[in-house]
Amino acid sequence: MLVHLHVKNLALIEEAEVDFEEGLNILTGETGAGKSILMGSVNLALGQKMSREMIREGAEYAYVELVFQVSPNTEEKLKELEVFLEDGQVIISRRLTGNRSISKINGETTTISKVRKISELLLDIHGQHEHQSLLYAEKQMEILDAYGQNEIEKEKQKVKGIYKEYCVIKQELESYQLDKEQRRREINFLEYEIQEIKDAQLRCGEDEELSISYRKLLNGKKITESLDEVYQLTGYEQGSAGQITRALQKLSQVAAFDEKLEEFVSSLTDVDSLLNDFNREVASYMTEFTFSEEEFFEIEKRLDRIHELKAKYGRTISEILDYQKEQEEKLKKLLNFEIRKEKLEKQYKEKEEELLEVSAVLTKVRKKWGKQLEKQIILGLQDLNFLNVSFEISFEEREKFTAQGRDAIHFLISTNPGEPVKELSKVVSGGELSRIMLAIKTLLADKDRTETLIFDEIDTGISGRTAQKVAEKMALIGEQHQVLCITHLPQIASQANSHYVIEKQVKNSETVTQIFKLSDEQSVEELARMLGGVEITNTVLQNAKEMKDLARKQKNTRVK
């Protein structure tokens, strides 16, 4: 559950910290006090986008931190996402500056997408306008699938896998929709490209070898002149070899007089031998090296051809040969067009039949859970003062397959006796839609065992007995989950296990929003304000106290 919230420099909030408790946590306050900002800060920490203007005037950054105490069951799911607890807690924080934000989980920087995945395990937020999504068929399908997820998800995965294979075959089959003339042109073009590459008789590494030979021949004259000079400088007539030979003769005449001189003779003999070998190798290279103008132009012509093919088919010879193989495969398919097309059509039909079968199973499972969901929603709506409500889930078959199966569903409702059920958008008001979503949220929370539920002013458009029913429902949810609820109705606020007030104050000539936890006596005073408006009389205070006492008795009765 959410045990701590810390907000700094966000809109009217200079800095606020609050510890939440188990059960039903109620947040109240006058209009404009900043209730929505406080709950918006939770959304912000969990990855919601925010404009630069939301950072408090004069501040360099905004900061939000959430601390969750996690149950063992949720801990195991978090480990699968590589999130490991510290003292049984998960700390999610987000710091926002001008154009960027940094999110952290237990002190480690992470991505917004990971924060969102984790938040799905920790809490469920129902905002002021979320109930409007209930009017869309996609949301209704999502609700049904979530309700029966243990069985439905398994069948959905089967459909998804087969649908993927079906799409691959369908896409390939569509590529075979060529007429004979198109096919003939494509075959001719492929044959031309393949033959052009084959005629070139390319060999991997050939271009590199030719480039070396080309450079060598291109600089043949320079090489010949340089080597001739080197040969003369290292030769016997006037070169260094003759000089070393004469030096060796002179040294040999005196070597017998000193052992050290014999070492000199040995070293110089090695030099003489090496230089003789070098001189012979140079002479041999010069004898073998000949410049052939014909060979030069042949190499140049071959390199030009290779460069032309590279410009058309690939940057390297290896890529050109790979391209040839690809085109040969395409040609093979076209030459065997009718055979391949017939085979694909057979595979397509088989996969379509398989998809029909698994989609039918998914529909059957959805209908089974749909019946259960209908009954549970009716019970939930009756708890919320829909006394004569009828609710049905209708199924239609889509014309085309999807990864979700072929089902199209609609939630149908009648809130008055004798009236036929109709789609939600044609029957319910905003307040009624909010109550329907509350009933559904309760069901799904019980299914998933979501630890924390947040309701942000879902009581819009309700009053009187309906408000009381919603209040009792919220209290009932609070017995199984931690609930945070922003409300303007005293009936709901009276059910609080923990009551907080959000108010604006002027501090150092600046308006700031602060949050306080109320004592039982302060809670009664806040209820009186909600009941009485501007003037709070003793009668209003007494009514508030009676409302609080009645809520306490109802809780005690449920516990017994």
pLDDT in tens, 352-396: 999 999 999 999 999 999 999 999 999 888 888 888 889 999 999
For residue 31, what is the enclosing H or E element? none
Across the chain, which has 560 residues, the per-10-residue mean pLDDT values are: 92 89 90 74 85 82 93 86 88 88 91 89 74 80 90 94 94 74 84 92 88 73 71 72 77 78 82 83 74 74 89 90 91 80 90 95 96 92 85 93 93 87 79 78 73 78 78 84 89 92 80 88 91 80 90 72
Strand order in the sheet with 2-10: 13-19, 2-10, 62-69, 89-96, 101-105, 108-110
Residues 6+ away with beta carbon under 8 Å from 272: 241, 244, 245, 248
Closest C-alpha to 541, from 533, 532, 550 = 532
What own/partner pairs with CB < 8 Å and gap ≥ 24 does 173-179 have? Answer: 173/341, 173/344, 173/345, 173/348, 176/337, 176/340, 176/341, 176/344, 178/337
Half-sphere exposure of 223 (CA within 13 A, CB side): 16
- Determine how β-strand 62-69 pairs with β-strand 108-110: unpaired
At 211 the pLDDT is 83
What torsion, rounded to 10 degrees, do the Cα atoms 49, 117, 500, 492 define? 100
Closest C-alpha to 314, from 397, 417, 204, 214 = 204
Q: Give the SS3 label for residue 43.
A: helix
Nearest-angstrom CA–CA distance, 540 and 89 = 42
Closest C-alpha to 458, from 62, 77, 128 = 128
At 558 the pLDDT is 61
Closest C-alpha to 121, from 155, 145, 90 = 90
- Residues pairing with 483 in the sheet: 24, 453
Asked if 403 contacts 394 with a C-beta cutoff of 8 angstroms, the reply is no
pLDDT digits (tens, 9 = 90+) for 58-112: 888 999 999 999 988 888 888 888 888 888 899 999 999 877 889 999 999 999 9
Nearest-angstrom CA–CA distance, 104 and 174 = 48
- Residues pairing with 408 in the sheet: 396
Nearest-angstrom CA–CA distance, 124 and 444 = 10
Nearest-angstrom CA–CA distance, 504 and 486 = 16
Nearest-angstrom CA–CA distance, 449 and 440 = 14
- Determine how β-strand 498-507 pairs with β-strand 24-28: parallel
Which ranges in 97-201 belong to alpha helices (H)?
112-122, 137-147, 149-174, 180-200
Q: Can you read off the two tokens belonging to residue 485?
A: 């609820």
Residues 6+ away with beta carbon under 8 Å from 81: 114, 117, 118, 121
At 283 the pLDDT is 77
Nearest-angstrom CA–CA distance, 56 and 486 = 23
End-to-end CA separation in angstroms for the chain: 25
Asked if 554 contacts 472 with a C-beta cutoff of 8 angstroms, the reply is yes
For residue 529, what is the enclosing H or E element? helix 520-532
For residue 301, what is the enclosing H or E element? helix 293-313
Q: Can you read off the two tokens belonging to residue 70?
A: 């996690």
Nearest-angstrom CA–CA distance, 106 and 121 = 16
Asked if 47 contacts 66 with a C-beta cutoff of 8 angstroms, the reply is no
Asked if 106 contacts 79 with a C-beta cutoff of 8 angstroms, the reply is no
Nearest-angstrom CA–CA distance, 7 and 39 = 10
For residue 170, the tally of other CB atoms under 10 A from its CB is 16
